[in-house]
Structure 1
Amino acid sequence: MLTNMQKALGTSDTAMQPTPQETEAPSVPRQKTDTKPGAGKRARAKKAPAVQDGKAAKETASKKPTALPQEAAAKATGPTLVELVRRHLADQSEPRSATEIATTLSQAHPDRTIKTTVVRTTLENLVAKSHVQRTKQGSSVYYTATETPAPTDAAESPTSVQPETY
């Protein structure tokens, strides 16, 4: 097949055969010339999405997370979830579950979306910081506020005492 193609192209067989100098080349491994790490690696370029009637631009724009202006304003001016959970537990006289806390906070703050899993994570973080106590009753977990809540702001904290150096 190759010879038929060579004949069709009009090349001669002698031109394609290697010269004796090429066949007698010493077999020495090629030396690396660049010493920078990763210099020999190729960088793979990212493919641009194919544009069909502007659909690709709309799809990539819709994938970006965007916050509603109302939610952004509520988050900027309102208290954090940690503060809401701590206040709620401080107001309660008996232990509450994460579901009860999430339900109460959702009703008290309808402009915010408060999920039970996020409240549970927040409670566990507060337990780790000793701001909240956890008690188990069977398979249920209940949370109560500790007696002395730690200050959340530097302005609320008492003057700090520097340790003496000897």
Structure 2
Amino acid sequence: SVKKPVAKKTATKRTGTTLVDLIHRHLTEQSEPRSAAEVTEALGKAHPDRNIATTVVRTTLENLVAKSLAQRTKQGSSVYYTAAGAPESKAAATDEAQPETAG
């Protein structure tokens, strides 16, 4: 049997920009941490031609965290993301208990 190559779903659409790039750029432009839902909403407004799902954004954000390109902070049951190296707001700085694991 012949295996067919698996197509990657990181669609670049017409702009040639990947969702990873859009999400990372959005985070770097923010002054405060953002939830996956907030990132999804902002990107949906900025790119109405793209169908962007919150679950895909959340997975992408977690992948950015794993690559040390973003940071995750928890506030209660909510999770917020900032670009790595971005200035943390007072709210994000309250949760320093989450240990980082070398990946």
TM above 0.5:
yes
**1:83 equivalent among 6, 12, 21:** 21
Q: How far apart, in 2, do the equivalents of 1:82 and 1:75 lie? A: 13
* More deviation, 77-86/111-120: 77-86
Instruction: Give matches, 1:11-160, under 5 Å.
Output: 75-147=13-85
Secondary structure class of the residue paired with 1:101: helix
The secondary structure found in structure 1 opposite 2:13 is helix
Q: Name the structure, 1 or 2, with higher relative contact order (CA <8 Å, separation 6+).
A: 2
Q: Which runs of 5+ in 2 are unaligned?
A: 1-10, 87-103
- The CA distance in 1 between the partners of 2:77 and 2:32, in whole Å, is 18
What count of residue pairs does the alignment treat as equivalent?
Answer: 76
Please list every run of at least 4 consecutive aligned residues from structure 1 whose deviation after the TM superposition is greater than 2 angstroms.
none
Q: CA deviation at 1:147?
A: 1.7
CA radius of gyration, larger in: 1
Question: Could you state the TM-score of these two structures normalised by the residue count of structure 1?
Answer: 0.44
Indicate the structure with greater strand content.
Answer: 2
Structure 1: runs of 5+ lacking an equivalent: 1-71, 149-166
